[in-house]
Structure 1
Amino acid sequence: MSDKSEIIAGIRIPDSQMAKAATELVRDSETDLLYHHSRRVFLFGALTGERKELKYDPELLYIGAMFHDMGIIDTYASETERFEVDGANAARDFLKSYDISQQDVDDVWDSIALHTTPGIPQHKRPVVALVTAGVEMDVLGLAYNDFSDAEREEVCTCHPRGLKFKHGILSAFCYGTIKKPETTFGNVKADVLERMDPTYKRVNFAELIMNSTWDS
């Protein structure tokens, strides 16, 4: 880290060559809304880690946060995988250029792939848990009051939410899933398409069981 590293709400933004390359890639690939959201996810995740006194790697948390919505972008979107998996794969491919252990690569992959699967990430290693914590704070306002007014204000001053963030993020989620609605089965993006796409029909797990090819 250099002495001129950016610090927001007491959190130092990673400024290694890898982190800078990730920042540049995401900045060039994503919309302003998604870029600022991803940076806030890192900051809220890191603040959560500090508050809970977790031992985590800030660089890996940064990569997970910055890539967590890359699967929404056409360049990184597959035809059949969940957008979370597409983003996780993009991060894994990016990390191949750096001297990163397989366990750390797996942690980053999990942190992105699981960030819309409630109830699991908090039981995983810190990087996985903290990416989801950052997402849940920025999108859902979970643990909102665990952050100080000053922390929230500084984070959102440096990386603004804008007046229509809620609608904007729903639109982004819809864009990332509307072409492959089958990938929303069993995850929260089904709720997004149900709200945003009048042609969407939710797959019912109980119906799948009753209509399976088994006789009984």
Structure 2
Amino acid sequence: MQAITVPDSATSAAALEVVTAYQSPAMVNHSLRAYLWAAARGAADGIPFDPELLYVAALFHDMGLVPAFDSHTVAFEEAGGHVAQVFAAGAGWGAQRRGRLAEVIVRHMWPQVDAAADPEGHLLSRATATEITGKDADDYPADFRAEVLERYPRLDLGERFLACFEAQAARKPTSSAATAMRSGLAARMAGNPLDAPA
């Protein structure tokens, strides 16, 4: 896979600064890895995508799990989409681009996203599945996987993420997080090859 670079823009830098201020190191690393898996998949599959849009969406995709932004009325991905839109407005993004950002974040929890209709949503959905359950992890070359994991260690992601989803499921039984928990997320996470000893 070709080298993946982080978008060099003031908005990208500000997004990382904001996310780092609110999320644990494990969750920040998770979001950064999600971008790298997504961008690598796009490059490998020949899917054109907007790197800045994908990067900011990857950084904000779990902001709805943060206590400061957790909503008791909507699913965490919807809450995260709202937070991202507010951030993007401050960054000067127009209404249409802000809307696309929220769509990508909401759709990362969809079982499937059509790459032709929403390339960034498709890539982020696949990347987060790789991150959390290891789905399609073997599609990435071993040296690329090792480099990403060395640069952004997983730390205590599994424990933190599962606790967040359990809490979401308990408070919002009709949410996507609750559906994931009922479908055996904990067991799938336990078998994630990305958490296997090197």
TM-score by length of 2: 0.84
Aligned partners of 1:121, 1:168: CA distance in 2, in Å?
Answer: 30
Aligned partners of 1:160, 1:92: CA distance in 2, in Å?
Answer: 28
Query: Which position in structure 2 is the counterpart of 1:120?
Result: 113
Aligned partners of 1:165, 1:40: CA distance in 2, in Å?
Answer: 12
Q: For residues 159-174 of structure 1, what are the structure 2 equivalents within 5 Å? A: 159-162=152-155, 164-174=156-166
SS in 1 for 2:90: coil
Query: Which position in structure 2 is the counterpart of 1:53?
Result: 46
| Structure 1 gaps, min length 5 | 1-8, 197-216
The answer to whether residue 190 in structure 2 is matched with residue 190 in structure 1 is no
- After TM superposition, give the deviation of residue 110 of structure 1 in Å: 1.1
Aligned partners of 1:45, 1:194: CA distance in 2, in Å?
Answer: 24
- After TM superposition, give the deviation of residue 88 of structure 1 in Å: 0.5
Aligned partners of 1:51, 1:118: CA distance in 2, in Å?
Answer: 21
Larger radius of gyration: 1
Identify which of 109, 127, 139 aligns with 2:102.
Answer: 109
Query: Which position in structure 1 is the counterpart of 2:69?
Result: 76
Matched to 2:173, the amino acid is E
Aligned partners of 2:178, 2:152: CA distance in 1, in Å?
Answer: 25
Identify which of 148, 172, 184 aligns with 1:181.
Answer: 172
Structure with more of its chain in helix, by fraction: 2
- After TM superposition, give the deviation of residue 194 of structure 1 in Å: 8.3
The answer to whether residue 144 in structure 2 is matched with residue 144 in structure 1 is no
- After TM superposition, give the deviation of residue 106 of structure 1 in Å: 2.1
CA 1:190–1:59: 2 relative to 1, 3 Å: same
Partners of 1:121 and 1:132 within 8 A in 2: no
Matched to 1:36, the amino acid is N
Percent of aligned pairs with the same amino acid = 27
Identify which of 1, 9, 15 aligns with 2:8.
Answer: 15
SS in 1 for 2:98: helix
Query: Which position in structure 1 is the counterpart of 2:195?
Result: none
Aligned partners of 2:11, 2:99: CA distance in 1, in Å?
Answer: 17
Aligned partners of 1:114, 1:174: CA distance in 2, in Å?
Answer: 20
Query: Which position in structure 1 is the counterpart of 2:26?
Result: 33
Aligned partners of 2:62, 2:181: CA distance in 1, in Å?
Answer: 15
Matched to 1:82, the amino acid is A
Aligned partners of 2:151, 2:20: CA distance in 1, in Å?
Answer: 15
CA RMSD of aligned residues (A): 2.2
- After TM superposition, give the deviation of residue 103 of structure 1 in Å: 3.2
Aligned partners of 1:132, 1:85: CA distance in 2, in Å?
Answer: 14
| Structure 2 gaps, min length 5 | 186-198
- After TM superposition, give the deviation of residue 166 of structure 1 in Å: 2.8
The answer to whether residue 87 in structure 2 is matched with residue 98 in structure 1 is no
- After TM superposition, give the deviation of residue 142 of structure 1 in Å: 1.7
Aligned partners of 1:76, 1:121: CA distance in 2, in Å?
Answer: 29
- After TM superposition, give the deviation of residue 124 of structure 1 in Å: 3.2
Aligned partners of 2:38, 2:83: CA distance in 1, in Å?
Answer: 21
Give deviations 1:87-127, integer Å, cap 9, x for gaps: 00000111112333433222211111121120235463111
Aligned partners of 1:195, 1:168: CA distance in 2, in Å?
Answer: 17
- After TM superposition, give the deviation of residue 16 of structure 1 in Å: 1.2
Query: Which position in structure 2 is the counterpart of 1:199?
Result: none
